[in-house]
Amino acid sequence: MKNQNMFDILLPLSSEQLNNLKKLENTCSNIQCAWLSGYFWKIANQLPDLPSLQINQNNSEQRITIISASQTGNAKLLSERLYEYLKNNNKNVNLINALDYKFKKIQDEKILILIISTQGEGEPPEEAFSLYKFLMSKKAPQLKNLYYSIFGLGDTSYNFFCQAGKDFDKRLQELGGKSLLNRFDSDIEYENDYIKWSKELLASINKYISNNNVSFASSKHEIHPLTKHSVYNKNNPATAIISINQKITGRNSNKDIRHIEIDIRNLNIHYKPGDALGVWYKNDTNLVKKILELTSIKEFNKITISNNTITIFDALKNHFELTNNTKNIVKKYAFLTKNKFLKNIISNEIYFQNYVLETPLSKMFYDHPFKISSEELIDLLRPLTPRLYSISSSQDENDEEIHITVGVVKKVISGHVYLGGASGYLSQSLKPDDTIKIFIEKNNNFRLPIDQNTPIIMIGSGTGIAPFRAFMQQRDNDGSKGKNWIFFGNPCFTEDFLYQIEWQQYMKKGLLTKMSLAWSQDQEYKVYIQDKIKENSKEVWSWIQDGAQIYVCGNASKMAKDVEKALLDVISKNTGMNLEYADEFLNNLRLNQRYKRDVY
């Protein structure tokens, strides 16, 4: 089993090659075979495209490559739009997902366009992680013939705004690449920025073509590997119906986690385990009224948004983010109100950051009320955007339903409860038979193995258990024979064991092979899932040797990083590799689609 994937990549081989490979295998330990497997996977993932996919590139015919590096789907949508835009302008262009891009190919590129989002603490999206590590390593080639441009997608409310795009930009320059058009860092309202950038990009490409006497004209060999969208998407959501909204944590739990079932019959919606559900939410009516009161604005005041005239109440209810505070909002409000306290906060970076994290938007208005106009209020705010939730059901088992698992974001300040916008809406405002606006966000990087005999290791904490519930329903429905192991962590066994009865039934049935649980508050010392991974080090390594695919779902900045350290510890201890080689081995698993993360 441990060598099967390697043979699949290398075949067909000559008899002499096969004999040499067999001789080498007979002299290697299990650890050495595992290392060789990773080594060959690395080579396979850095080769140029196979001949059947290659495009003839010479002085008279060149190709523009667009790399899509998406976390929530926005970069993917823009990449597809740019592909169509350049193609319609008679350009020979190739669009590819960052995960599928062959690393060594970059030294042959002439024009490279990267559209990339940022996740966690300034990290690249999961599908671009391996490309990022390669370019940042000593193995990255010189790129003196490369011209490139980067469009970054981010959120100015985070410290590391568009950091992934900035990192790629800096590194490409260090490797000799030249900027075709300066990097553009766009906030969550990116539409106008994208249109301006794409037009300037086309002009820069045409100028490059003219100056270098080369052609990037359209070719019949175009490749477009990214999938098309369904009829429903972010800009055209479906209207579905809530059927169940149930709290699934215990009465004494510190967490409020909801299991929500949505009726999608007659909607022609299709999804797979691993996909996410996009939810367009509405702000709480009482919150809207409170903000209008604190800013002395009448509910019926009219305002124009995107050429539509609506009341300020409707605008705040349906079109603007009212819960998360940001540095830009605080700065704007301090300037508008000339508030000395806020100006002092802004002058101290440490205090400023803590204030933004700890002070919801409405709390700032409550502490520092000030009369402003409807237009001034709107200018402060950011547009409302949909929230994505990992789907916790399999459509093959729940044909007319979608299930999601929602953790309610809650802050208690001076006895007052502040809820997150989307989670507050889902948990408090929606009842059975209410309607909800939704769409499916595909996640092809977080799929079950095609071979149903492949073992899987699922690692998640809190609501990170959601996609694994979908995985188990699918494996059960398919009659899969592969082994299944779940690592799950939460504060308390009695209060926070999400879907406990279902997991126990899977164990009793034999579908779930092993369950390793970490309850951080059930004993004097803290126990987390990374501790359970290290505790089961030898068995985890055995599963990896048997071809297991590893899945991680949960918080990117803390949980996912700690889990990765634990996996590196497993690899290092069981192979004798130092951490550098262990990291390379784990990255090869990622390239081989055997280490997949859905982190947020």
Spacing of C-alpha 310 from chain mean position = 34
**178 and 327 share one domain:** no
Spacing of C-alpha 211 from chain mean position = 39
The reported pLDDT for the residue numbered 252 is 94
Tell me how far apart the alpha carbons of residues 505 and 519 are, in angstroms, rounded to a whole number. Answer: 20
**502 and 586 share one domain:** yes
Give the CATH number for residue 532: 3.40.50.80
3-state secondary structure 356-418: HHHCCHHHHHHHCCCCCCHHHHHHHCCECCCEEEEECCCCCCCCCEEEEEEECCEEEECCEEE
Give the CATH number for residue 82: 3.40.50.360
The reported pLDDT for the residue numbered 28 is 63
Give the residue from 394, 411, 441 where a domain finishes. 441
Give the residue from 394, 410, 441 where a domain finishes. 441
Tell me how far apart the alpha carbons of residues 273 and 344 are, in angstroms, rounded to a whole number. Answer: 49
Tell me how far apart the alpha carbons of residues 409 and 216 are, in angstroms, rounded to a whole number. Answer: 50
State yes or no: pLDDT of 557 exceeds 90. no
224 in any annotated domain: no
Cite the beta strand spans of 408-507 per DSSP E.
410-413, 416-419, 435-441, 456-461, 484-490
Order across the sheet with 595-599: list the strands: 514-519, 484-490, 456-461, 549-554, 595-599
Residue with structure tokens 């043979």?
7
For the stretch 153-204, pLDDT in tens is 988 777 788 999 999 999 999 999 999 999 999 888 888 899 999 999 999 9
**363 and 402 share one domain:** no
Residues 6+ apart with CB under 8 A from 494: 250, 252
Residue with structure tokens 């022609």?
268
Give the CATH number for residue 255: 2.40.30.10
- Structural domain of residue 474, as residue ranges? 456-599
Mean pLDDT of the chain: 88
**pLDDT more than 70, % of the chain:** 88
Tell me how far apart the alpha carbons of residues 376 and 367 are, in angstroms, rounded to a whole number. Answer: 18
Q: How many domains does the chain have?
A: 5
State yes or no: pLDDT of 561 exceeds 60. yes
Give φ, ψ of 177 to 5 degrees.
Answer: -65, 150
162 in any annotated domain: yes
State yes or no: pLDDT of 9 exceeds 50. no
CA dihedral sign, ordered 587, 591, 595, 599: positive
Residues 6+ apart with CB under 8 A from 559: 461, 464, 489, 528, 529, 599
| DSSP per-residue string spanning 533-566 | HHHTHHHHHHHHHTT-EEEEEE-TTTHHHHHHHH
289 in any annotated domain: yes
Give φ, ψ of 441 to 5 degrees.
Answer: -110, 110
The reported pLDDT for the residue numbered 62 is 79
450 in any annotated domain: no
State yes or no: pLDDT of 402 exceeds 90. yes
The reported pLDDT for the residue numbered 586 is 94
For the stretch 353-385, pLDDT in tens is 899 989 999 999 999 999 999 999 999 999 999
**205 and 353 share one domain:** no
State yes or no: pLDDT of 289 exceeds 60. yes
For the stretch 534-543, pLDDT in tens is 999 999 999 9
Count each helix (H run) and each strand (E run) in the chain, helices first.
22, 20
The reported pLDDT for the residue numbered 228 is 46
**276 and 295 share one domain:** no
Give the CATH number for residue 335: 1.20.990.10
**248 and 390 share one domain:** yes
**372 and 473 share one domain:** no
Average pLDDT over residues 435-455: 95
**519 and 480 share one domain:** yes
Tell me how far apart the alpha carbons of residues 100 and 53 are, in angstroms, rounded to a whole number. Answer: 13
Tell me how far apart the alpha carbons of residues 396 and 362 are, in angstroms, rounded to a whole number. Answer: 43
Q: How confident is the model at residue 11 (pLDDT cuts 50, 70, 90)?
A: very low
For the stretch 62-102, pLDDT in tens is 789 999 998 878 899 899 999 999 999 999 999 999 988 88
The reported pLDDT for the residue numbered 33 is 62
3-state helix, strand, coil in the chain (%, to 5): 40, 20, 35
Average pLDDT over residues 3-32: 53
State yes or no: pLDDT of 21 exceeds 70. no
Spacing of C-alpha 271 from chain mean position = 17
Tell me how far apart the alpha carbons of residues 479 and 473 are, in angstroms, rounded to a whole number. Answer: 10
Give the residue from 380, 404, 431 where a domain finishes. 380
The reported pLDDT for the residue numbered 600 is 83
221 in any annotated domain: no
The Cα-based distances of 541 to 60, 370, 549, 570 in angstroms read 51, 61, 12, 7
Spacing of C-alpha 134 from chain mean position = 20
State yes or no: pLDDT of 7 exceeds 60. no
The Cα-based distances of 394 to 258, 274, 444, 471 in angstroms read 18, 9, 15, 7
The H or E element that residue 185 is part of is strand 178-186
The more confident residue out of 13 and 573 is 573
226 in any annotated domain: no
**153 and 203 share one domain:** yes
Instruction: Examine residue 12 and say whether the peptide bond preceding it is cis (omega within 30 degrees of 0).
Output: yes
State yes or no: pLDDT of 438 exceeds 50. yes
Average pLDDT over residues 278-288: 97
Tell me how far apart the alpha carbons of residues 590 and 600 are, in angstroms, rounded to a whole number. Answer: 18
Average pLDDT over residues 470-484: 97
Residue closest to 476 by CA, chosen among 507, 445, 497: 507
**78 and 170 share one domain:** yes
The reported pLDDT for the residue numbered 13 is 54
Residue closest to 386 by CA, chosen among 276, 292, 310: 276
**461 and 426 share one domain:** no
For the stretch 201-254, pLDDT in tens is 999 999 988 888 777 776 544 444 444 445 788 889 999 999 999 999 999 999
The more confident residue out of 44 and 121 is 121
34 in any annotated domain: yes
For the stretch 244-271, pLDDT in tens is 999 999 999 999 999 999 999 989 999 9
323 in any annotated domain: yes
**178 and 60 share one domain:** yes
